A and B are shown apart, each in its own frame.
Chain A
Amino acid sequence: MTERAVRLGRRVSRSARPHMSALRKRETKAGYAFLVPWLIGFFGLTLGPMLMSLYLAFTRYDLFSPPQWVGFANFVRLFTADKVFLRSASVTLQYVAFGTPIKLMAALAVALMLNRIRRGSGFFRSAFYAPSLIGASVSIAIVWRAMFSTNGPVDTALSFFGINIGGWVGKVNLAVPMMILLGVWQFGAPMVIFLAGLKQIPQELYEAAEMDGAGVVAQFRHVTVPMLSGVIFFNLLLEIVHAFQVFGSVFIISNGTGSPGGRLNFITLYLYKRGFADGQMGYASAIAWLVVVVVAVIAAVLFKSSGRWVHYYGEDR
């Protein structure tokens, strides 16, 4: 259909070129007129600042005196002399590497369940979605700390099953898991996206698979996962980017310190402390660009591999 439209367009444009180009010019003018606010925002608040931050990453800058070019000194210091940064990078990567897959698996599992039941799925969907809307708020950070404090609900529940580990707050080894659970608790948003994707899978595919004798597991592997791969890819990328940005909850739970033992000093909190508490804007920018590079590498690997595992329905591969 698109091919025909293109051919049609070509024929029209050949026969009436002068008219078309005038129209095109008018369209272009109108397009940019509508785009003015977005363009200012894009260049002034996104692209421009990104480049500025790239420059600042190679300087020493405290807001008061002009930036001083220091070459790669900030990056060298980050990797060789800054133990706090290495700890921060390590806990953040742990959070992303474990939290994101667990969250997405929970989202997919619940979406599959909701897709199977006929009655009540609307209620469950809403109930599961609610945490995504409030999970990053200061209120929930305060609640989360209470949930995991000594004699709090989690401690009480675990004690009931004979697991007496006490409160999680302030424990070095349980700080990151506690944050991962806060992330997983917000599985509702990717779940909703999965559910929309599941609804688009043609029922005939399952019927055909069933005719061929495929069981539930085989249907999941050979129909659901390939048909959903585009949505999985999108969710994975978006959730990874979001996971790197966690700030409010670690700030509130650790009272802005990142303790215990730097385990809640997630990279965004560390950047904030360096930039805004210590006034090291250049150094903080270097941290920011490391995050960009890491995210870009992850995205590139995902994109590169996506040719192998992401399928689009109706496309010959």
Chain B
Amino acid sequence: MSLHTLGRKRPQASRRKLARRGIGSVILWAVLSLSTLVVLYPLVWLVAASFKPSSEFGRNNGLLAWQPTLANFVKVWGGIAGIPLSTFLVNSTLVACAAVVGILVSSSLAAYAFARVSFKGSKIFFAAMIATLFVPVHVLIIPQYVIFNWTGLVDTYVPLLLGKLLAVEAFFVFLMVQFIRNIPRDLDEAARIDGAGHPRIFWSIIVPLMRPAFITSGIFAFIWTWNDFFAPLIYLTSPEKYTMPVALRLFNDATSTSDYGATVAASFIALLPVLGFFLFFQRLLIQGVATQGLKG
């Protein structure tokens, strides 16, 4: 649009500028395409390498396998330490799904309070919520472990999930606050005149409209819980309860020297759900990240 208005005022300058921009955007495209190749290479490598027979690692330094094989996947599917891979996948899926439900319920409740209810102390608690975005996890790891150890909950999934049920991750609350603030208040007002209280307004007006925010938060919650390594590492002690990342570590320790192909294939499988979500919902995810940085 700016080019258009400029063009009407100074046709000569704009034509030269257009030509310059044309060359400029070709160069930009070239730089961006090259960067894309570099950035995506590790992923391409992972996919390609999982089809290499173990014997080719260290000898075949090219990207593609000389003799592509599914042997790595077959080996990995058998599992590790006598536990089939499906156990870890099921564990991870259950934990991640429970986390999604917990985060959506608890964060939307908190977000509604911050965005729509004007109560005493809301400003202080909102500031406190934002501040938790910047608390280093280090100070929480040890005391939380001590608490869960006291209560005998180590080696259960409770420590992995309790925080999700209590809206501990401010990212989600903040994202939903931003979203609710953008819903026109006329709808609430109309409902209020009809005699609806906050629970009614929340449940029958805000929640149905929050679908996009729920989808975005749900996917982030799934992916972050799925990828989480630290919490399962310290809290899960029996291997049959392991989630994928801790199981992957077991693979990495036990087989990296003898059967590298299996480790690579397991890494690929562990990323598959994440990549799947990304391919289908990339636009929503990117929007979610973008709102995080903007002042509301």
Known contacts A113-B32, A130-B278; is-contact A38 B42 (Cβ 8 Å): no
B167 nearest CB across to chain A (Å): 4
A contact residues vs B (CB 8 Å cutoff): 24, 27-42, 44-46, 48-50, 52-54, 56, 63, 110, 113-114, 116-118, 120, 122, 124-134, 136-140, 142-144, 146-147, 151-153, 156, 185, 189, 192-197, 200, 203, 206-207, 230-231, 234-235, 237-238, 241, 244-245, 247-248, 251-252, 255, 267-268, 271-272, 275-276, 281, 284-285, 287-289, 291-292, 295, 299
Residue pairs across A and B with Cβ atoms less than 8 A apart, 19 shown, are A34-B202, A38-B173, A40-B166, A41-B168, A42-B168, A45-B162, A46-B132, A110-B35, A130-B43, A130-B275, A131-B42, A139-B248, A143-B45, A193-B292, A195-B290, A245-B137, A268-B138, A271-B142, A292-B136
The reply to whether B249 and A252 contact each other, CB–CB distance below 8 Å, is yes
Decide: B36 and A37 in contact? CB cutoff 8 A. Answer: no
Chain A interface mostly helix, strand, loop or mixed?
helix
Nearest chain A CB to B162 CB, angstrom units: 7
* Total A-B pairs, Cβ < 8 A: 293
B212-235 Cβ-contact flags toward A at 8 Å (1 or 0): 000000000001000101100110
| Chain B contacts for A271, CB-based, 8 A | 138, 141-142
Cα A252 to Cα B139 in complex, Å, equals 22
The proximity string for B residues 276-296 relative to A, scoring 1 for CB distances below 8 Å and 0 otherwise, is: 001000110110011111110
Please, how many residues of chain B have a CB less than 8 angstroms from a CB on the other chain?
97
Q: Are B289 and A193 in contact (CB under 8 A)?
A: yes
Q: Is B58 an interface residue (CB 8 A)?
A: yes
Complex: A122 Cα to B223 Cα, angstroms: 22
**Assuming the A-B contacts A49-B140, A142-B263, A292-B136, are A137 and B43 also in contact, with contact meaning beta carbons closer than 8 angstroms in the complex?**
no
The 8 A-B residue pairs with the shortest CB-CB distance, nearest first, are A41-B166, A31-B119, A193-B293, A49-B143, A34-B113, A196-B290, A139-B267, A38-B110
Do the beta carbons of A134 and B119 come within 8 Å of each other? Answer: no
Closest Cβ of chain B to A26, distance in Å, is 8
Residues of A within 8 A of B128 (CB): 42
